[in-house]
Amino acid sequence: MCIPLDDWLVSERFPRSSKYRPEWVIASASGGANALWLTEWLAEALDLRPGMRVLDLGCGRAASSVFLCREFGVQVWATDLWFSASENLQRIRDAGVENDVFPIHADARSLPFATDFFDAIVSIDSFVYYGTDDLYLNYLARFVKPGGPLGIAGAGLMRDVKGPIPGHLREWWEPSMWCLHSTAWWQEHWQRTGIMTIELADTMPDGWQSWLDWQRAVAPDNVTEIQAVEADRGSYLGYVRLVGRRRTDARLDDPIVSVPTSYTKTPLLRSEGQSTSQE
């Protein structure tokens, strides 16, 4: 049965996202997940208020940034490395939010922002590409005000893979997939630093079905992934969400960007330093 275009991507689970035309959502896609669904899901766990400054880290084509601004009245710094800030500006202008959404081209490990600048930081389906680094949370947390939230949502695992890759996932799985983790893994990864108070760590109910619905809509020829998700049925694959709040007493080490040195010439060989008094 052919589904009318206007009925694509309509979900009772995501009423805010369902207001947006499917042509715009699909044209704004930058990854393997529906950015609006994930952003709406994450925002449910955040106290976003008009005028707040929000960093949307790894925003892709800035669909999530536009959504946050329009739905919650926040100012958003739409930051991404892989996608053009100039193209994102066009999309932002067309959405009528250019006064409150600011496209930034930057690496997540070299952000051009002041300490304590943001009221909140979000990352939609991109944190796995850089946030698994043991040192990264210490770097990122300095950009949100003490007590401010950091939230991530994206593809993940319902349980971490122990041992060989399950047979039904082998054809789809590739080495880069090892960046996917469970909420338990992420919670421990953040909690052990002492930087964040974890407020929420959970998975999307039937998230595998939302994953499958998105793939069928935007990439019906992606047979390998679709078959893997169908066969898995949420055993391993789904969407994970984590929200923490920067502890006011957390001590953040300053990032090392250079090491000051001075050179003093010294003898190279032992023989060069021997006394000539015996000669």
Residue 279 inside a domain? The answer is: no
Question: Environment class of residue 13 by beta-carbon count within 10 Å: exposed (0-12), middle (13-18) or buried (19+)?
Answer: middle
* C-beta separation of 127 from 240 below 8 A: no
Residue 188 inside a domain? The answer is: yes
CATH number of the domain to which 231 belongs: 3.40.50.150
The answer on pLDDT for 147 being more than 70 is yes
Write the pLDDT tens digit of every residue in 72-118.
999 999 999 999 999 999 999 999 999 999 999 999 999 999 999 99
Between the alpha carbon of residue 128 and those of residues 45, 61, 119, 155, 179, the distances in Å are 20, 18, 22, 9, 6
Cα gap 46→82, rounded to integer Å: 26
Residue 278 inside a domain? The answer is: no
Residue 224 inside a domain? The answer is: yes
pLDDT at 6: 63
**In the structure encoding, which two tokens stand for residue 266, read together?**
């010294």
Domain that holds residue 199: 5-273
Total domain count, the chain: 1
pLDDT at 274: 66
Residue 111 inside a domain? The answer is: yes
Question: Environment class of residue 133 by beta-carbon count within 10 Å: exposed (0-12), middle (13-18) or buried (19+)?
Answer: middle
| Mean per-residue pLDDT of the chain | 93
State the pLDDT confidence band at 275, using cuts at 50, 70 and 90.
Answer: low
